[in-house]
Structure 1
Amino acid sequence: MRFEDYDSLKRYMNDLGLFSMDLGLGRMEAFRAEAGLHDAPPVVHVVGTNGKGSTSTFIESIARAHGLKTGLFTSPHFVTPRERIRVNGRILPREDWVRLANRLLSLSCGSRLTYFEFQTSLAMLAFCDAGVDVAVMEAGLGGRFDATNVFDPFLTVFTPIGMDHEAVLGDTLEEIAQDKAGAMREGGFAVTARQKPGAMRVLHAQAAKQGGRFIRSEQSPLPDCPLGLRGAHQRENARLALVAWQHLAQGLGLPPDAEAEATGLKQAFIPGRLQFAQLNGCEVILDGAHNAHALEALRDALDAEGVRPGAVVFGCMADKDIASMLGLLEAVTNGPIFVTRADWSRAASPENLAEALPGRAEALPDIRTALERALGEPGPVLVCGSLYLLGDVYSLYPRLLNPSPNE
């Protein structure tokens, strides 16, 4: 099989199934062996439940501010899969995706890769092809069997671990942490953010078992400088990223540069993380908080900013702890809550969400209708609950994907 253009490649990836999973690293190990990857860059592997995308973005931005050529692999995407792979902050041209995909399918293992494995492999080919100095790779789900875990990391970074994907990772925080701790390497180097006690015990035990260095970031100083990402929780993500960067820089033999660190923290941008924007003359806050832990952080961030949404547009996946999420949602606003569904098969139905919030929530069929209703309410409108729901917003208003929304 050979792709002639990006549209045919996109159809192929869609046919693989966005949510298809087949746990195990056998296919990725086959890719690593067959692809060679002799010029593979040092990898910073970012694992956890919440804050992975933001932390990855901070690390990449700091590295780029130091003059390094960077690779960044994140997920999910909002509008196009091309958002997942960036070199020096820019998405790859469609032609590069086609060329690299054809190279990937020329390998005997290529046609057996799942959706996420295919894109993870393509990302590493892109980074090797571009000759990046460092590759920051965000884990998709879990740690031990995540496709990104096949590349031996220079550094493993743990963002806060919470309850998520219980059906796959385990029913308790400790079970989930154990899976994510599986990303550590024997004799390796790991940095962690503040964790709940159960998760921290698991990470400490795994680090001791592996005989590696294990650093906690929460007591490290963070310079008093502006951050490109808003919210009190982003300060903890920035702190974790900065500690990770400083140990990475030391390993790469780079001298300390406080000015470049501050520049990287200031220039970091990722859509959908407490993003304030204007739509039709109204203020909108876009946040991909997709579980109870993330909604708690969103609530605290809004309180710290002194912002009280006048209305909320909400939608989430059906496999989430919906009762906890809706309880937190009620505390965020005194105004109406418009529930809708993201354009994904796993999305919870608006009717079920509305039934769980009698008298507070109104079910609407799609994001366009929900936004039209919400924008008529006084005060800012908060859109949250799922990165896929935000993807529907960005499909309607793609300019909001840029750091400067007028671009």
Structure 2
Amino acid sequence: MTYEETIDYLYSLLPVFHRDGEKAFKGSLTNILKLSEYLGNPHLKFKSIHVAGTNGKGSTSHYLAAILQSAGYKTGLYTSPHLKDYTERFRINGKSIEKANVVTFVKEHKSFIEELKPSFFELSVAIAFDFFANENVDIAVIEVGLGGRLDSTNIITPILSVITNIGFDHVNILGDTLPKIASEKAGIIKENIPVVISEYNDETKPVFIDKAKSTNSEIYFASENFSVVEKETNSTNLIVDVFNIEIDSPRLIFKDLNSQLIGPYQLKNIAGVVQSVMILRSLSYSISDEAIINGISKVVTLTSLKGRWQILSEKPLTICDTGHNEHGLKIVLDQIKKLNIKQKYFILGFVTDKNVDEILELFPKDGTYCFCQANTPRSLASENLIKIAESHGISGYSILSVNDSLKFIQEKAQRDDLIYIGGSTFVVAELDNL
């Protein structure tokens, strides 16, 4: 099979979350354990960092991978979903797995795959673990797919667990309260393994403390130890100062730290990342301040990250972002307000399991909107989306394709305007010029 035929084969054979939704979430570690045993338990052959959270886990994973890479470690990075190509999920030092490796893996293990019929995600995790073990990575940063406790990545025993934040997402699977969701995310906390919490609130903190006590794990609340203060932000960079606040008098440890990832939500992520690096240092990892600075300032370049506040053009300023839930989109919209651009155009599409009514309440009524839908069965039909929007006092156009929507809006926008594309990872993924 060719690479394209291989991917088509997997999509046709296995349940896929972006297509099948909740049905593709197995809610059990049985299949991944069987896959791993069949492959010789590759997850036991490399060290790892495990990252969970409602929002921020992708950015945090990329920050950590970029810093470790800058420190000279051969660093694996597993993330999901991919945007343009499946190989993006599996990276070593920023380079995606070769397509031929994917083809060879499926060809060699085709009989077992057809016998077990794991989910697409379960198989992807197995490919990642096998890839990192075969390539003898020094360490791999593993991003949770969904939740934590029953996520297929949760068979690893990492050297460090990181939980970025807790918000309402996938409530039909993870629970309808923040403590319930936090409990699922806290499932990645392992016996005697330290855990970093990047962000918490009064409802989630006790959940993390109780879980850490039950596993005898040192717990670090990053915001109680490090303060990240925004100094300057623009469409392309975020500049911050980082203070150590563990001591009586706050001590400046990074001045004018420049991040390629921007937005106020990165302040919490950076605090969690700095806390994580301090723990890695205590575990005898040699990570200089220069490696931290380089990793954060070149995170997009080093890890080939796409879709996080990605600028597609300057005139008009055209930005796409994969934020897709209420918490993430609120932060994105706050960042848009800071740009102080008068005329704003929004190209939006969502999937059916999001609370679109609450999300649309976040968007300004005076923007110009174009509603689209991604080419996946889970997409909310654009004609239905425009009706929901109208019930919230938002009017606009309905154009099926995101690329056709962008062309339509580009004809209307002036050079000093803003065009924002988002609402769903799958909408962003279908952009031609990403």
State the TM-score, normalizing by the size of structure 2.
0.85
Residue type at the aligned position of 1:261: I
Q: Give the counterpart of 1:377 among 413, 416, 419.
A: 413
The answer (yes or no) to whether the contact 1:101–1:122 under 8 Å persists in 2 is no
Work out whether 1:24 is the aligned partner of 2:28.
yes
Percent of paired sites with the same residue: 28
Q: Give the counterpart of 1:233 among 265, 279, 294.
A: 265
Residue deviations 1:233-284, cap 9 Å, x none?
1232122122212312331x234511111001111012111112218x5321
Residue type at the aligned position of 2:400: P
- The within-5 A match list for 1:237-256 is 237-251=269-283, 253-256=284-287
Q: What's 1:73 paired with?
A: 78
Q: Per the alignment, do residues 383 and 71 of structure 1 end up closer, same or farther by CA in structure 2, a change over 3 Å counting?
A: same
Residue type at the aligned position of 2:425: L
Aligned residue for 2:84, secondary structure, equals coil
Q: Per the alignment, do residues 204 and 110 of structure 1 end up closer, same or farther by CA in structure 2, a change over 3 Å counting?
A: farther
Q: Give the counterpart of 2:395 among 360, 369, 373.
A: 360
Aligned residue for 1:330, secondary structure, equals coil
Distance 1:100 1:356 in 2: 44
Aligned residue for 1:226, secondary structure, equals strand
Distance 2:39 2:108 in 1: 9
Q: Give the counterpart of 1:386 among 420, 424, 428.
A: 424
Residue deviations 1:127-153, cap 9 Å, x none?
011111111111111100000001111
What displacement does 1:110 show?
7.2
Aligned residue for 2:51, secondary structure, equals strand
- The within-5 A match list for 1:56-71 is 56-71=61-76
Distance 1:103 1:229 in 2: 39
Aligned residue for 2:317, secondary structure, equals strand
Distance 1:59 1:264 in 2: 8
Can you give the 5+ residue segments of structure 2 that lack an aligned partner in the other structure?
18-23, 228-241, 243-253
Q: Which has the higher strand share?
A: 2
Q: Give the counterpart of 2:87 among 82, 87, 105.
A: 82
Q: Give the counterpart of 1:276 among 311, 322, 329.
A: 311
Work out whether 1:102 is the aligned partner of 2:112.
no
Matched positions, count: 389
Work out whether 1:145 is the aligned partner of 2:143.
no
The answer (yes or no) to whether the contact 2:78–2:128 under 8 Å persists in 1 is yes
Q: What's 1:265 paired with?
A: 296
Residue type at the aligned position of 1:157: V
Q: What's 2:226 paired with?
A: 220
Residue type at the aligned position of 2:328: A
Residue deviations 1:305-337, cap 9 Å, x none?
445562100111111011111011226xx3211
Out of 227-236 and 113-122, give the one that drifted further: 227-236
Q: What's 1:348 paired with?
A: 380
Out of 311-320 and 194-203, give the one that drifted further: 194-203
State the TM-score, normalizing by the size of structure 1.
0.90
Residue type at the aligned position of 2:268: E
Aligned-residue CA RMSD (Å): 1.9
Distance 1:173 1:290 in 2: 18
Can you give the 5+ residue segments of structure 1 that lack an aligned partner in the other structure?
401-407
